[in-house]
Every structure is written in C-alpha cells, then in structure tokens.
Amino acid sequence: MEIIETILFDKELKNFEYHLNRVKNTCEYFKWKFDKEWLKLEEKIAFKQKPLRVRITYNQFGIKEIELFDIKKREFKSFRAIEINFNYFLKKKNRKHFKKLHNTYPEDEFILIKNNLITDTTISNLAFFDGKDWLTPKYPLLKGTKREELLQKKLLKETNIHKSDLKYFKKIAMINAILGFKEIKNFDIIF
C-alpha cells in the first residue's frame, strides 16, 4: 500500500509539523518504521523559487517518490451532494472511489455524505458559515492538516452537519494544504 502526503512549498514547507504528525500517526497505525528522510525533506526542494505542490509517496520502506507540481488555479462553483459508503481515513495513493465520481460528473466537485452527515469533498475538508461561526464536519473522511491547524487556533468549530442543513448556509469553504481556507460565496449544490 502506498500513502501520499501533499504539502505546499512556498519558500518553506507550510504546516510541516502537522504533515509530519500525520505521517508519524500513519506509520504507527501500520507499525511501519518512520523514515528519518522526512526530516531532510525541505533540503531537497529549498532551491525552488516559486510556490509548488509537493506530493510525497511513501510506504513501509520509507519515502518512495517526491513529485513537484505547479499550482493550478481552480474555481469551484458547482457541488454535487452524493451519498458514499467507503472510508478514507488514510491518504492513500489509490483514489479509485474519487476517480469514479469525477468520471461520472467531470464538471462538479462533490460534497460527500456518509450516514446522512456531511464529510468532505474529494479534495478537501469543508467549512460552512452559519452567520456567526465557521463550522466543520465533526467526522470528516480525512482529518486534513490545515483543518487541524484551524481547529487548534479556534477558527473552526466541529459539529455534525446533516444533508438537510446545507440549504441554511450562506458561505462554504474548502480547506486543504494547497488551497488553504478557500471561501466560496457563490455556489450551487446539486442534490
């Protein structure tokens, strides 16, 4: 099994301590030995001058591949709310469940619903503005590093968000290591 970690590099590896913590937790979960090369990761890309998306693939033997990608601007306006029945608590390289969704509806991003509760999109955690607070699903599919940072800083509140609650929110935000906290004011949700 191969696991990936995606990190924003912008003069430094952003939120690296959160990413490192998730890698260590994954290694502990599988009883893999932690590869000390993670601690030297920034040295391998420090010469780059522009922001990059860094994708590290690793497994029980350590870091297998480091890939650097330009950051593409993406606009998100249409979200398709869809029920799922799979788990994704580890950031696996094999994303077959998500690819299948995007092959069916290539123009949309998805709001994934499990057991009638909002979880994530296929590429990010979510937050919703209720007029007072930014709320994030209590049970995301994957606990993202940026989401964890925002929770620790008390900028997000965890709560159960049901499918029926979606119509009451004025704003939505996508949260991940590359997007950061991307607020989306004009959006459609397709049920």
Mean pLDDT of 30-56: 90
Looking only at the bridges linking them, the beta strands covering 125-129 and 134-137 are antiparallel
Burial (0-12, 13-18, 19+ Cβ within 10 Å), 151: middle
The pLDDT assigned to 185 comes to: 83
The pLDDT assigned to 51 comes to: 93
Q: pLDDT digit string (tens) for 159-189?
A: 999 999 998 898 999 999 999 999 998 888 8
Which residue is it, tokens 């397709």?
190
Whole-angstrom CA distances from 11 to 45, 58, 177, 179 are: 9, 23, 15, 16
CATH, domain range 3-70: 3.30.470.10
Both structure tokens of 11: 């003069």
The pLDDT assigned to 118 comes to: 97
DSSP helix/strand/coil, 103: helix
Q: What is the pTM (predicted TM-score) of this model?
A: 0.91
Give me the helices (H) in the chain, please: 16-30, 41-45, 96-104, 145-152
Both structure tokens of 87: 């788990």
DSSP helix/strand/coil, 180: strand
Whole-angstrom Cα distance, residue 168 to residue 131? Answer: 10
Both structure tokens of 23: 């890698």
Mean pLDDT of 128-153: 96
E strands, the chain, in order: 3-9, 52-59, 62-70, 78-83, 109-114, 117-118, 125-129, 134-137, 157-159, 171-176, 180-184, 188-190
Q: How many CB atoms lie within 10 A of CB 148?
A: 17
The pLDDT assigned to 89 comes to: 87
The pLDDT assigned to 134 comes to: 97
Q: pLDDT digit string (tens) for 21-39?
A: 999 999 999 999 999 999 9
Class of domain 78-190 (CATH, top level): alpha beta
Q: pLDDT digit string (tens) for 92-112?
A: 888 888 888 888 888 889 999
Q: Are 191 and 66 in contact (CB under 8 A)?
A: no
pLDDT-derived band of residue 15, with 50, 70 and 90 as boundaries?
very high
Q: What percent of the chain has pLDDT over 70?
A: 100
180 or 87, greater pLDDT: 180
Q: How is residue 35 annotated by DSSP?
A: P
Task: Fill in the amino acid letter for 161.
Answer: I
Does 5 score more than 80 pLDDT? Answer: yes
Question: Where along the chain do its domains lie?
Answer: 3-70, 78-190
